[in-house]
Structure 1
Amino acid sequence: MRGEPAEAVGPVTLGAVLVAGLLSMVLLGDGLAWNLLIVAVPVGVAAWFSAQRDGRRGRWPRPWSWVWVGGVAALLVVPALRDAGWPSFLAIVAAFALGSLALHGSRTWTGVILSPLGVFEAVVPGLRWGWSGVRERAGEVRGAAPVLRAVAVTVVLLAVFGALFAGADAAFADLLGALIPDASVAGSPWRIVLLAAGVVGALAVARTAASPVRWDRLVVGPGRARGRVEWALPLVVLTALFAAFNAVQLAVLFGGYDTVLDKTGLSYSAYARQGFWQLLLATLLTLLVIVFALRWAPRDGARDRTLVRGVLGTLCAMTLVVVASAVRRMDMYVEAYGLTRLRISVVSVELWLGVILVLIMAAGVWGARWLPRAVAASAAAGVLAFGLLSPDALIAERNVQRYEETGKFDFDYARQLSADAVPALDGLPEPQRSCALKELADELGDERGPWFATSVGEARARRIIEKRPVVAVNATRCGGSDADRDFGPSTTSY
């Protein structure tokens, strides 16, 4: 399945790999922010030149590859903007997946799913490939001796005079400390690990670009076609069940929730919470049903294609109403109990499932050749939007708004949020503001990290707290989740 054997690694690729390793060593030891995007640049350069050297010019990058590369760059901006670790982690994972698609150029479901494995598979071959390139170009290094000596002298001069000027002026020392990464001896073992990881990772990416695994050649045959009645009857009955459920939902929408609550005996919040998880599971199961239905669909001619499109299109449309109902129920619950990370996450997943249903319906009209890549792009776009919208900030904004409306606030949960929540929590009156921000202010501390490892969210939080310092508040006045006692333990249950 692997493509043509890779040509010998070129000098530009080797140089880019070395730069990626050095940048990883000096930049990645203090956290992830702008440094991750900076390290990605030489890795991309190594991949580009190795692909061009191996004859992929004109074949790579294709238009979809440019989409994936742009997505990688956009996703790696998320850690630079947000202090919260969970959306940044999702963005990094999604960036790796999109980068794998760009390297392999996969089009099929098999290729889209398995492409990330190709980069891991290239780790050991990449090391052998890089070492052979270094050995072949050992003579070229001797010819570069004058340049290397000039670089060494330059580094020595900068180090000596930089140290002298830093000792002479404290302001200049602070400037150097902010601009130059810390390369202290105490962190040397960890720096060496980062150097090795950067070199190995860049070599694996470059080797994949030079000779990608052809995952699209793995063909999964279609299932055995079923007869029209055998195939359509269960789906038609299921669609009818969806239609009946949706009719009830529309009646609730226009008739009001009070009528339904009177009939069911449930509270407002219990009605919302009881239904959401079932509807989320129903959406997931419907997508699974569609996958198997397409595999076993009748395909004898135009009439069968019309039948498949009509039945599955109707089922997708009915499921979209279920998605809307699930989102509405969660909105009801948030109105009562506030927003949490889990609640905003599951709503985001439900909305993404709705996007997939729309894409499936579009594929039924215009063909499904583009569907695997479109689903991957929609997932990456969702992760990007999730990070750019700053979920911790949204949670804080919604809960501050709820405090203004009801006087209820869960301080225990607010203390778990990241620095991204500080601008919203700053809107609370005292002493509630200091109660919510005290632990965040303590975590930020007085010591600032280097600029390349500091997110915009952290920098903004520091400015706010420095402008309006947190005041000392008696712990008994802050309370915690007991401040939300009227809402019971379900306040942060999901």
Structure 2
Amino acid sequence: MSEEPSVPTGSEREGSKPRARAASHEGRSGTAAPTDAVPERKAGGSEPIPGGPPPAPPRLIDIGPDDPAPIRSATLWAALATGLLSMLLLGEGLAANILVVAVPATLAVYVAGRREGRRPRPWALVWGGGGLALLTVPALRAAEWPTFFAVVTALAAGSLALHGGRTWPGVLLGPIGVFTSLVTGPAWAWQGLRERMDGDRGRLVPLLRAVVVAAVLLLVFGTLFAGADAAFADLLAALVPDVSVSDGPWRILLFASGLFGTLAAARTAAVPTRWDRVRVPPGRPRGRAEWALPLVGLVALFAVFNAVQLAVLFGGYDAVLKETGQTYAQYARQGFWQLLMATLLTLLVIVIALRQAPRTRTSDRTLVRGVLGTLCALALVVVASAVRRMDMYVEAYGLTRLRISVLTVELWLGLVIVLIMAAGVWGARWLPRAVAASAVAGVLAFGLVSPDGMIAERNVERYEATGRFDLPYAEGLSADAVPALDRLEEPMRSCALWEIEEELDERRHIPWYATSWGEAEARRILDERPLVPGASGPACDELGAEFYR
């Protein structure tokens, strides 16, 4: 939604706010307040006149939301639809069903925001579009771990769309506003529902009666038609969720999560918490020598380290390994984790240095840009060195989920450093949102490229080149790895795919909306090329043990 609410017209807000609320809102926004709310003061002084009202105590920054207008019926119906769809569709796992559930939830948020006169702004569309794009990851990938990252990041992006944060507090604290609405949102909906029931009792009862009659007719005739035709029964079974009594508590929890979560998001869209009003006090500027001397020393250390890295790169690793007594893999593994930590600490140093940098004179600002810009440039060389170390380690031992994850984090940290350098040139007003957008884009790209598929592809290529393959690790990958593992020769192929096929067989009863594209593609490949019978047990254990010899 928008970052600043626009002024609604009278038709949009008819009867929506009491007069007391409007006066309170005017007082907070800095417009004229009632005269009796301001204590009288002596002319030319700040002390109140004796006998007058006491001075008002100093107020903290007002970040709390206003009271929202009464909830609209469209918001209530959309929230109820979200709860019902969550209960019916999400019980078997996440895939395309989460996109279906997101449609009425988005509608509820939009209607609630428009009720308060808020209109979507460009950045709100970026966050909302990014969140919906992240929800395509469960529909495409069978692996659970990129799906988890995508869903969590989608919730964070949705929070930014609701609040419209521009500053660091607005970007970082936005999700807290949604969590607080988990209590106020249902209360807001219940109040609006009671008002409608009191005023529209004569129309509500016929509507409920019609819904009950329609449900009974569909149930009776659907059961008769399913018993009369097997093809229709199969179609009905594929379309209608299989809800049993045993999973009733789980379904009730899903319904409550969808309903209350949507109401919380809708109330946040109507009256968001103003996190952008939180002001972080600036740091105390240090003297030029006190500020610059430690950083100049750190820059010199970075320069020496990067020079050594270039010498090693052009001189070859053999001489370094001979002097250190390390193996190729040990040198790469040890270096990567230290360089990753160095990158994180560099970002921390930059943040602290910016808070304490002198800012009074033009020469001071030039010095800040020069020193920190040089430090950022040298930090990028460290990032490149860390990426090269991980590549060396993967060449020695293969690619794993941990290695591809930390490598992705290192690349994202490098992008953050580039954004900081750009902010030093063009200003930092856009930096918080740019960093958050880069995180959303990074998680989206990570999920879309199929990390399990990349792991299998890299390890199969390594097997084709060296004859070494980590079979026990490959057996634990998801169905996304099947297209790459299918290239292996028998019996290695069947041994690598045996556990994946068993898991797919256990999930054959899962409906289409809870089945990802990666899972469907893996099932198609295994149906076209069945595994070798008996390719499990001691024979596969022997193949797996060869990797560790």
TM-score by length of 2: 0.86
Partner residue of 2:252 out of 183, 188, 192: 192
Which residue identity lines up with residue 243 of structure 1 in the other structure? Answer: A
1:450 to 2:511 alignment = yes
Structure 2: where are the runs of 5+ without partners? 1-62
Shift of 1:110: 1.0
- Equivalent residue for 1:79? 138
The residue identity in structure 2 corresponding to 1:297 is A
Alpha-carbon distance in 2 for matches of 1:460, 1:168: 33
Moved more, 183-192 or 295-304: 183-192
1:36 aligns with 2:98: yes
Q: Per-residue deviation at 1:293?
A: 0.2
Deviation at 1:274, TM superposition (A): 1.4
User: What is aligned with 1:390?
Assistant: 450
Structure 2 letter corresponding to 1:17: A
Take 1:448 and 1:393, find their aligned partners in 2: how far apart are those partners?
Answer: 24
Is the aligned partner of 1:91 residue 2:150? yes
Distance 1:276 1:72, change over 3 A: same
Q: Aligned residue for 1:47?
A: 109
Instruction: Give the conservation status (yes or no) of the 8 Å contact 1:344–1:391.
Output: yes
| Alpha-carbon distance in structure 1 between the residues aligned to 2:137 and 2:302 | 39
Is 1:439 the counterpart of 2:499 in the alignment?
yes
- Which residue of the other structure, out of 400, 412, 436, is the alignment partner of 2:460? 400
Q: Following TM superposition, by how much is the alpha carbon of 1:95 offset from its aligned partner in structure 2, in angstroms? A: 0.4
- Equivalence for 1:105: 164
Question: What is the alpha-carbon distance in structure 1 between the residues aligned to residue 151 and residue 322 of structure 2?
Answer: 48
Deviations 1:94-147 (A, max 9, x none): 001010011111111111111011110111111110100100111335325555
What letter corresponds to residue 119 of structure 1 in structure 2? Answer: V
1:474 positional shift: 4.6
Provide the C-alpha distance between the structure 2 equivalents of 1:35 and 1:87, rounded to a whole number of angstroms: 17
In 1, are the aligned partners of 2:419 and 2:431 still within 8 Å (CA)? yes
Alignment of 1:139-178 (within 5 A): 139-140=199-200, 142-178=202-238
Task: Select 2:531's aligned residue among 463, 466, 470.
Answer: 470
Aligned pair 1:417/2:477, yes or no?
A: yes
Highest RCO, 1 vs 2 (Cα 8 Å, sep ≥ 6):
1
1:228 aligns with 2:288: yes
Q: Output the CA distance in 1 between the equivalents of 2:222 and 2:285.
A: 75
Residues 283 and 39 from structure 1, CA distance in 2 versus in 1: closer, same or farther, beyond 3 angstroms? same
Q: Which residue of 2 aligns with 1:483?
A: 546
Q: Which residue of 1 aligns with 2:11?
A: none
- Does the 8 A contact of 2:498 with 2:536 survive in 1? no
CA distance in 1, matches of 2:139, 2:182: 27
Distance in 2, matches of 1:283 and 1:456, equals 37
Moved more, 156-165 or 220-229: 156-165
CA-to-aligned-CA distance 1:1-45 (integer Å, 9 cap, x gap):
123211111111111111111111111111111111111111111
For the residue of structure 1 that corresponds to 2:246, the secondary structure is helix
Matches of 2:157 and 2:258, distance apart in 1: 19
Identity of aligned residues (%): 67
Taking structure 1 as the reference length, the TM-score comes to 0.95
Unpaired stretches in structure 1, ≥5 consecutive residues: 487-494
Q: CA offset at residue 458 of structure 1? A: 0.9
Given that 2:153 and 2:440 are in contact with CA atoms closer than 8 Å, whether structure 1 keeps it comes out as yes
CA distance in 1, matches of 2:257, 2:397: 45
For residues 201 and 228 of structure 2, the distance between their equivalents in structure 1, rounded to whole angstroms, comes to 39
SS of the aligned residue for 2:247 comes to: helix
Q: 1:75 to 1:474 in 2, by over 3 A?
A: closer
Give the corresponding residue for 2:54.
none
Change (3 A) 1:150 1:350: same
Q: Which amino acid aligns with 2:464?
A: E
- Cα contact 1:413–1:481 (8 A) shared by 2: no
Change (3 A) 1:193 1:474: closer
1:51-62 matched pairs, under 5 angstroms: 51-56=113-118, 60-62=119-121
1:184-237: CA deviation from partner (whole Å, max 9, x where unpaired) = 333222222211111111111111111111111110111000111110111111
Deviation at 1:384, TM superposition (A): 0.4
**How many residue pairs were aligned?**
483
- Find the counterpart in structure 2 of residue 490 from structure 1: none
Q: 1:334 to 1:165 in 2, by over 3 A?
A: same
The answer to whether structure 1 residue 328 and structure 2 residue 388 are counterparts is yes
Which residue number corresponds to residue 321 of structure 2? 261
Q: Which has the higher helix share?
A: 1
